[in-house]
Structure 1
Amino acid sequence: MAIHCGESLIMKLLLQITLVLTTSIAVAQTAFYNSGNVQVHNNANIGLHTDFINNANFDQTTGTLGFYGNRAIIVSGSIPPSLWDAEIFMDANVFLQTPIMVRNNVNFVDGDVLTPTNLQSVYLSFMNEGLYTGEGDFSKITGFAAINDRNVFIFPVGDPQRLRPLTLNSQGNTPLVICGYFFENPSNPSSVLNTFDTFTKVNDIGTVSDREFWIVQSDVPAQVTISWDDRSNLAAIPNATFESIIVVGWNKSANQWVIIGNSGMSGDINQGFVTSQTFVPSDYAAITFGTIPLPTDTFAVNNPTLGNYFLSPNADGINDVLVIDGLEESPNNVVRIFNRYGQKVFEQVNYTNQFQGIANTGTLVLGQEKGLPEGVYFYTATLFDLELEYTGFLFLDQ
C-alpha cells in the first residue's frame, strides 16, 4: 500500500503532512496499520487508497483523513479512530467494521460509508460539533449513523440508491442517538435480524407500509421528521389519502405496531413529510408510515366527502333547497350552516332538505324574511347513525 499525500479536500495538492510517531506505524502491503499514536496537524491531510487498521489511539488529529481511489476501503481495528475532518471521494465505498468518530466535518464528495446493517454498535458518529457537507443519493451513510451530546440533527442516511434523511429534535441533550434507513419490507427485511410484521398492529392502524422503515435509538424523548416519495408508494394503499398518513412504530414491549402520531405534515399522497408526536425512540424497534383505518361502513367508503353545493332559492324548481346527497342513509343527523364569519345561521336536527337560504338561528334570524346574503357558506353534517361527520361549502345566490 502507499500513503498518498497529494490530495487536498478535493484531491488537490497536499500542503503538508506531519506524522508524530510515539510508538510505531506498520505499513503492510494491503493496509495502513496504526499501532502507535498518529497526529495529523492543522492543514495537513492523509489520503488513503487502502484499508485502515487502527489498534492504537488516533484521537489527536486536527487535519483531514481522506478516503480515495477506485476500490473499496475497509476500516477496522480494536480502537475506533477519532477524526477531525474526513473526506470520501471514491468510485467505491468505505466499509466500517469499527466506529469512526468525527469531531468537525465529513465532506461527502462521492461514495457511501457502509456499516453492518445488523450491528448497531458500528456507525459513523458525529460528535457534539460534528457536521457534514455534500450528502446526496450517491454520497451518504448506508447503515447506521450516530450523534453524541446534541439534541437536533439531520441524519444523512439512506439505502444504496437514495438519500432518505431523518430529522431528530430531542427534548434534551442526548449522549447517543443511532439512526439507520432500510428500503425493505419490515415484515421480512433482508438486512436486519428482527422482523416487524406489518399485519401485527393495534386496531387504530389501518395499514402499515411494507416498503421502508427507519431505526432510531435514543433514551431521550424526541420528535422525528421523515418523508415519503414516489418509491414509498403510499398512494397504492387502498383508499389512502394525504390526511390518513400517520407515524407508527414497532413497540418493543407490546411487540406490535402502534400509533406514534403526527404533530405536523406537508405535501400530498405522492410526496411529503410528517413530524411525529414526542416519543422515546428506544421504546420502538422501527418506525414507518401507517394510515388510519378505513371505514367499514359502505357509505363512508363510497362517500369520502358529501360535496359542495349551489343554491338559488328563486322558486324556479332548480336548486331551490339544499339537498345533501345520501343523507337519507342516516336519518339521525344534524346539519349546521355557518357564514364566512363563523356565525351559525342554520341548524336542523334530522335534516330533510329544509334549508332554502333563510336563517333559523343566530342574529340574522330577525331578518329572515329577506333571506341570507348572497355568498359562500360552510356546512357540517353529522351522521350519528354512521358515526361520521362531513364538512363542505355551498354558494348561495339570492
Structure 2
Amino acid sequence: MIGAGLVGRSCAWELLRRGHRVLLLDPLPLDSDRRCNPPPDTGSWAALGVLMAQVFHRHSGRAWRLRQRSLELWGQWRQQLEERGQPLPWRPGLLLLASSAEELERQQRLVADRQAMGLPLELWSREQLDDLAPALPEAALGGLFSPQDGQLDPAPVLEALLRDGLERGLQTCCDGAAQLERSPAGWTVQTRGGQALQAEVVVLCAGVASAALLEPLGHGRALEPVLGQALELALPPTSNWNTPWPGAMVWQGLNLVPRPPNRLWLGATLEPGDHPDPAALASLRRLGGAAPTWLQQAEVLRQWQGHRPHPVGRPAPLLEHLEPGLLLASGHYRNGVLLAPATAEWVADQLEAPSGDLLTKP
C-alpha cells in the first residue's frame, strides 16, 4: 500500500479486517511509537471532513453510488472501531445555505427528488435560519438540511485507523516509493532509501505523486494539486451559541464547522498550484463579503493549508485496476474523507475477485 493518507489507511484497514497482510509505505518521519506521522499540511490532515452524500446534486451514476455507499460504510466503520476502543468524532447534520433565488430553486428540486427516494432532506425557511445563533449570513434566502450527512474530524480518524491497523498486524515502512517494477512474483517497489520491496499486489494511494510512479509503466494519469487554506477561529462571547446550529454549514462552497468550546473551522479555498494566495485567505476570512459581525470579530487561532489531488481530464476519483496486481485508488480531490470507505471496499473486492475477473468499475 503506497500512501498513508486517509484513503491509504482506509484501504489498509479494510484489507487487514478481511485477513490480508499489508505493508503501508509512505515517506514520512516516525513518531515515538514507530508510526508514520504525516505533517499537518498533507491533504488528509488538512481536510475539514464535511461529508456531502445525500445532498449531492446527482441521483445516479458512479459518483452517486460511491457517496451513498461510503456514507453507509462510515456508519458501520464507526460502530466497529468504537467496539474496538477507537471511537470516531462524528457530528451529524449538514445545512446548505442558499445565496440566490436560483440556488434556492435548485435546493427545492433536490429536496423533492430526495424525498421521492425516501431520503429525509428538508427545506428551511429564512425564518428558521433566523432562530439559529450565532446569526447566519443575512443574504441567505433559505437552506437545505440533511440530517444524515455530517462531519468527521480527519486527524482522529487517521489515528484510529492506524492504531487499530497496527493491532491487526499492519506493517509500516516510512520510506518513499521511487519506482515500480514488474517482477515474476508480482511487483518490486524501489524506495528512495534504496530498499527493494517485493509484493504480489501494489495499491497506489499516493495522491499527486501517483502519476510519476505510473508514467514509466505506460499508464498516463495526470494529477494536479489544488491548494486549500483553512482557519480555526475563537468566537467572541457575544456570538451566543444558545441555539446551536444543526451541524456544519455550507455557504457558497465554504464550510463552517462548529468546534467546542466556542470555536469554528472555516474553509477551504480552491487555489491551483502550490502557493497560497493571501487574497484568497482574506476572502475566506470575510466569507466572500457575507461574514456576520460575530465572524468578523472572531480571533484567528490557527491557519493551515493542504493539497487535494485533482485528476486532469478524468472524473474524480481514479479507481482503476490497471493490470494484474496494480490498483490505482487516488485523485479524490475534495472528497477523500467521504469516499475513503467505498474506495477501500472497492480495492478489497478487486483483490478478492476470481482470477481473471477484474471488477474494473466501482
Structure 1 length normalisation: TM-score?
0.18
Higher relative contact order (CA 8 A, sep 6+): 2
- Larger Rg over CA atoms: 1
Q: Select the structure that is richer in strand.
A: 1
Q: Select the structure that is richer in helix.
A: 2
Structure 2 length normalisation: TM-score?
0.19
